[in-house]
Structure 1
Amino acid sequence: MNPQPLQIRLSWSDPATGERREPILAVPIALGREFAQMPDELRGMRVSRILLNSAEVSRYHVSIDEDSGSLVGIDQNSQNGTFVNGQRQARSLLANGDTLQIGPYQITISFLASPSISTINFHPDTDLPDPRLVATPSSDNFPPLVFGQSQVALQDLHATGLPVEEVDYAAIGAGLGSFVWVDMLRISGVKIDRIAALGMEEKPYARYKRLCMNSQIPLHERLRSNSDSCPDNIWGWPSYAWREVWHDLLKGKVSDALGYLWQVFAEPDFAQTYTPRSGNVFDAIDRESKRIGWEQIFRYGSVRAIRKTSDGRYVLAYSRRRSSTASPDRAFLIAPYLQLATGYPAIQFLPDLKAYREKTGDFESVVNAYEQHDRVYQHLEQHGGTVLIRGRGIVASRIVQRIYEARQKNKQISLLHLMRSAKPQGNKFGSSQRQVENHYEFQPFNWPKACWGGELREMLEKADPEGRKRLLAHWGGTTTADRRDWKRIVQQGVNEGWYQITFGEVEKVERDDTQNRTVTYIQEKGLKGQIRLEADFIIDATGLDAHVTASPLLGDIVTHYNLPLHDNGRLVVANDFEVTDMRNQRGRIYAAGAITLGGPYAAVDSFLGLQYAALCAVDSLAAVQAPGLKRLNALSSIRQWLKWATNKSP
């Protein structure tokens, strides 16, 4: 048996956005601007590829490989050279902690002595955030040894004696991304028994709902993300706003109904952007789920591996047991057309906070905004206290609002908001610039609205990889929902003194047992002294992790088939969202959601982004005459809308 390849962690901050990247990769590793054609010396090898989208980086710039037990970096005659710890080197032995300078990228090399401490993974048996879980592939002899091959023969699968099922279309994830893809397939004529959706929870919105609830967006609260589209309705008519208008008119609430219409037609210049209540979204998805037969399409299963088959399809090895203590129940599913919509693989967790929890075992005082932490607000309402928030995006804004609500019951609550640096002005693009107040950069949603379906979407689709990186850097960044209630709360907190903003780099987080509080030591910006920030609770609101290597399933596919990744750790997809490096004769794999950011679409994790990916993928399938699928035309689309409106099966 061949020994396991050496794995190392590469760490760097994106030079355009400052976002941290920390992929774990098996050597050999190739780093460069593009790998449209692999160099001759890499053909036939399993090579981890990292794309660095900068004109200062050569197409194939440098390789990292193992030589006689040592790690070596080899410059590939790049135009601008490779610098190791500041010195230009053609070939150099690499040690733990060494830094590679490749164009604008400063990449630190770390040998893996311990698992990463920068994420909270979802447990494979429950799909719940598990702070004690490390994402590692299974080691229980499943999938079988034949999955070590690049192509699996069907007779080898049947020889295992495990159940083998065949369908035409398989969705991996069974979340919102899978749901809208399946919805498109059903509307386009595909029968229920030809589709399978594999996931951990039957409700396609289950994880999304849980994350909303944990981050303090209950069912009656309005979402803070884009909702111009409806996951239950590909036509977008009637929209959530029109449905709410009709509902209120029937109840005689004329002023409320007119207010929603004003928001829709007057935003963003004269009115606050409309977003629906989360409960209304989930109810609408329940209705559409019943209409398209989601219950029959869904298969409970944790997908462990995906491999190409020798006849031009794909096989999924999955476990059907519902807990780690249940008897093993494994099976295979074969399909020529797959969709990867696994959602965010993990929750981002600041390393110093995770290190604190690992050292102290204190999971009560330090929490992540996406973990269940209602106890924090219950304690504050009863006893008062101080909360320290890290992060300043949409999730942080909702946490601040929730603390404001708690202060209505107990005024002895104060809030410290720790930010790395001040934000004097917002991002610019052309003649446009984002508004900034109190160091928050405001935008209705996480991307400019034209990214969803306007000129910015078309611009990104036509751009080359380097151009896309530049555009995404201009349009992206950490933004906060542009809402009047939120702005009022922040300004009121600043004026009254219960809300304070502090800037600095965290040096360490400890526990003061005498005071029974957490202590965060920071190096304040512009000062030499160390500052102590004491708090009863710390809430990490820095967001979710979309790096595909954080997912054991996606990481396995990337490693096994040497798939290229963008330098932001996401999958490289074509304009129709196909993972072209996984094409297998007639077989096609498509992707959707946050794991595709860096491709042809910016708002990939929005409702409309998921629907756009599904539309592109189904159009692509229709072009290759996928079985049972009929391209929608004007007449069939109207007919299908009428079926939707009357709640009849497609």
Structure 2
Amino acid sequence: MTNIQIQLTWEDPTTGERREPKLDVPIAFGREFARLPAEVDGQRVARMLLNSNEVSRYHALITWENNQLVVIDQGSVNGVIVNGQRQPRSVINNGDTLQIGPYIIMVTLANHATPPISNPPSLIQFNPNTNLPDPSLTPARAVTPLGSNFPPSAFQAEQVAVQALHATGLPVDECDFLAVGGGLGSFIWSDLLRISGVRAEKIVALGLEPEPYARYKRLCLNSQIPLHERLRSNSDSCPDNIWGWPSYAWREAWHDLSKGKPDTALRYLWQVFGEPTFAETYTPRASNVFDSIDREAKRIGWSQIYRYGRVRAIRKTDDGRYCVAYSRGQGNHAFFVSRYLHLATGYPAIQFLPDLQAYREKYQDFKSVVNAYEAHDHVYEQLERQGGTVLIRGRGIVASRIVQRIYEARRKNTNITVLHLMRSPKPQGNKFQKATRLVKNHYEFQPFNWPKSCWSGELRVMLEQATPEERQRLLTDWGGTTTADRYDWQKITEDGLKEGWYQITFGDVLSVERDAQNRTITQIKEKGFGEMKLVADFIVDATGLDAKVQANPLLDDLVKHYNLPLNYLGRLAVANNFEIPEMRNGKGQMYVAGAITLGGPYAAVDSFLGLQYSALVAVDGLAAARAPGLRPLNPFSSSAQWLKWVFNQSP
């Protein structure tokens, strides 16, 4: 039998994004294109590259034998796992799952394949005026930087004449250092500049909210992390303190000790010394982090640095600087010109599953189907009053927190059940060299979303020195989507499974509809059971955030205007010091930070420590360029500045 086509479906091990290629059999899998056969038994082979060191150069072959689909291990090191069992050779059927290295791939025969849902990209945009998640906005309707009379036509040029800016009659201000974003990335960069001797009046941060953590705090609260709960960050990663000492654990221990609680104080310190082998990893309380940032913001003069403004476009100027066109309100436009520019725009959008977007557009129902990062407290309030069933989509840190919140709601009303829909089982965690991540009940656990040595250890150096192709392999093997290794979350899951109120189901979604009782009906194709329906009062999408360049109109315009390169994840390609070399303009330099750089020289780019590290290497670059007023830290000046931090004195 010839021309057999199958659909392969998997989630990218780094970002969790879905891949769904349709290929003709036979199909060869491997790490190196040159090692994969071009033909098998006279038939042309579809060659599928899986860029991971856990995948052998020629790993496996799917072919058709005796009217059966067969997968054959080609002598690989890590083998082929079929439906959770390692098999050298196995017949595979519609809906079976293969694991090849870190890739968990579902096989669907072409005549059983689900027709793609015709929708625009499934994202929930942040409203460019309010900075809030706005489900009424989609990428197709998002306002583009050049979509009105502002910025002016001069911005069509490669370099904008500063004289042309003044000719518009609009305000034109200048500064030495300009941060675009106004969030945590901008704050950390500005903080380091202040500590390095730059005066507050020489720095400007453009953003939509005066609190640098405002959007982050809102996303935490929406995803059910209240102020008393702990964030997923380590003890010494302190946005308010580049030295990391005293860490959050020491501060919390000292606070409890002063309140007469020596037992809890010692427990925090033991966590730091014993984690993660002998104790659960310490993470700080959300309120402590936000309060600490408030203190540091006041110390460095953040209120003087921050300016309200929605940035519309960025261009090089004809005098070796950059011009930022921004809006201060309806019809109130202005320009900033700066020699040194820092972009930290954060996540531009929230991922939203296409079938759930289709449901909301069809029924205009924004109450029953919600994203975990939207405000959705009404879900838990109704559950506590009336009980009901919640269907959770996605697995990871956010899904675990949603399960915990429902567990808390069950204390008030036990008539609450959870259906957790996952696309495929997770029989084995990511591997790298001799290390393997722990997996329990199909959750993959480790203290943080990346191995800790990615932050400042040998894995950081390894990634920095790697080629782009090697970086893709490393990031794929390390993986980015996991659940924090918390005992309470594991116990909630185990108790829920035993007691029956928590159920895990695997399958592909065919459609999401609404019944006569206004309940959601999710029709899935489940392995071993054919098609079935899942009835729920609410659906919570916990699949995460999106940081691709095209999801951000500002960055998309910048990339297209200057033909900037992107890395394999569709993010900005940056040098090891987080500069965009292609944006050099005379002595002008542009640096970037955050999730929009994932795939580059650093793994944990959207963590507190990742933002601090990118700021450190960027400021080193500014020091090498002899940026005005900037004095590189040395052991003496750093110690002096640390003492000023301790005594809460201005830098």
Residue number in structure 2 paired with 1:419 = 422
Q: Is 2:627 the counterpart of 1:626?
A: yes
* Aligned AA (2:120): S
Which amino acid in 2 is paired with 1:136?
A: V
Secondary structure of 2:419's aligned partner: strand
TM-score (norm 1): 0.82
Q: 1:422 to 1:21 in 2, by over 3 A?
A: closer
Kindly indicate whether the alpha-carbon contact (under 8 Å) linking 2:235 and 2:249 is maintained by their aligned counterparts in 1: no
Shift of 1:202: 0.3
Instruction: Give the CA deviation at 1:216.
Output: 0.4
**Are the structure 2 counterparts of residues 220 and 19 from structure 1 closer, same or farther at C-alpha, using a change threshold of 3 Å?**
closer
Q: 2:363 matched to which residue of 1? A: 360
2:610 is matched with: 609
Match of 1:20 among 9, 17, 27: 17
Which residue number in structure 1 is paired with residue 431 of structure 2? 428
Q: Structure 2 CA distance, aligned partners of 1:361 and 1:367? A: 12
Alignment of 1:219-618 (within 5 A): 219-321=227-329, 327-513=330-516, 515-527=517-529, 529-618=530-619
Aligned-pair CA distance for 1:585? 1.3
Aligned to 2:195: 187
Q: Read off the aligned partner of 2:264 and give its amino acid letter.
A: D
Secondary structure, in 3 states, of the residue corresponding to 1:303? strand
1:16–1:349 CA distance, 2 compared to 1 (3 A) = closer
Q: Secondary structure at the match of 1:190?
A: coil
Tell me the percent identity.
69
Distance 1:171 1:21 in 2: 33
Match of 2:136 among 128, 132, 135: 132
Does 2:122 correspond to 1:118?
yes
SS at match of 2:483: coil
Alignment of 1:123-162 (within 5 A): 123-134=127-138, 135-138=142-145, 139-162=147-170
Offset, 1:18: 7.6
In structure 1, distance between residues paired with 2:159 and 2:565? 19
Shift in alpha-carbon separation, 1:584–1:115, aligned structure 2, 3 A:
farther
Aligned partner of 1:34 in structure 2 is: none
Shift of 1:496: 0.2
- Structure 1 residues 226, 55: closer, same or farther in 2, change over 3 A? farther
- Cα deviation for residue 21 of structure 1 reads 7.4
Which residue identity lines up with residue 371 of structure 1 in the other structure? E
Give the Å deviation of 1:115: 7.2
Q: C-alpha distance in 2, partners of 1:221/1:21?
A: 31
Q: Which runs of 5+ in 2 are unaligned?
A: 1-7, 20-29, 35-102, 104-116
Q: Aligned to 1:386, what secondary structure does the other structure show? A: strand
Residue identity opposite 2:215 in structure 1: R
When residues 200 and 358 of structure 1 are mapped into structure 2, their CA distance, relative to the original with a 3 A threshold, is same
Asked if the contact 1:16–1:470 (Cα under 8 Å) also holds between the matched residues in 2, the reply is no
Query: Partners in 2 of 1:429 and 1:346 — Cα distance?
Result: 31
Q: Distance in 2 between matches of 1:18 and 1:189?
A: 38
> Take 2:322 and 2:625, find their aligned partners in 1: how far apart are those partners?
17
Confirm or deny: 8 A CA contact 1:227 1:607 kept in the other structure: no
Question: 2: distance between equivalents of 1:560 and 1:270?
Answer: 52
Distance in 1, matches of 2:347 and 2:377, equals 23
| Alignment-mate amino acid for residue 238 of structure 2 | C
Residues 320 and 329 of structure 1 are in contact (CA less than 8 Å); yes or no, is this contact kept in structure 2?
A: yes
Tell me the secondary structure at the aligned position of residue 178 of structure 2.
Answer: strand
Measure, in 1, the Cα distance between the counterparts of 2:479 and 2:592: 21
Using the TM superposition, give the Cα deviation of residue 224 of structure 1 relative to its aligned residue in structure 2, in angstroms. Answer: 2.3
Judge conservation of contact 1:55–1:466 (CA < 8 Å) in 2.
Answer: no
Q: How far is 1:55 from its partner?
A: 5.8
**1:54 Cα deviation from its structure 2 partner:** 8.0
Distance 2:31 2:563 in 1: 22
Whole-Å separation in 2 of the counterparts to 1:114 and 1:625: 53
For the Cα contact (< 8 Å) 2:422–2:504, is it kept in 1? yes
Map of 2:106 onto structure 1: none
Query: How far apart are 1:310 and its partner, in Å?
Result: 0.6
Letter matched to residue 122 of structure 1: F
Describe the SS at the equivalent of 1:628. coil
Structure 1's 240 and 368: CA in aligned 2 closer, same or farther, altered over 3 A? Answer: same
Report the residue type matching 1:346 in the other structure.
A
Go from structure 1 to structure 2 and tell me whether the alpha carbon gap of 1:158 and 1:171 turns closer, same or farther (over 3 Å shift): same
1:20 CA displacement: 3.2
Unaligned stretches of 5+ residues in structure 1: 1-10, 23-52, 58-103, 105-112, 322-326
Say if 2:643 is the partner of 1:642.
yes
Counterpart secondary structure, 1:605: coil
Q: Contact 1:316–1:334 at 8 Å: present in 2 too?
A: yes
CA contact (8 A) 1:199 1:302 kept: yes
Distance change in 2, residues 1:391/1:13 (3 Å): closer
Cα distance between partner residues in 1 of 2:168 and 2:31: 48
Q: CA RMSD in A?
A: 2.0
Q: Is the 8 A contact 1:520 1:532 kept in 2?
A: yes
Describe the superposition over 1:89-130 as per-residue Cα deviations: whole angstroms up to 9, x where unpaired.
Answer: xxxxxxxxxxxxxxx9xxxxxxxx997241000001000000
Query: Number of paired residues?
Result: 550
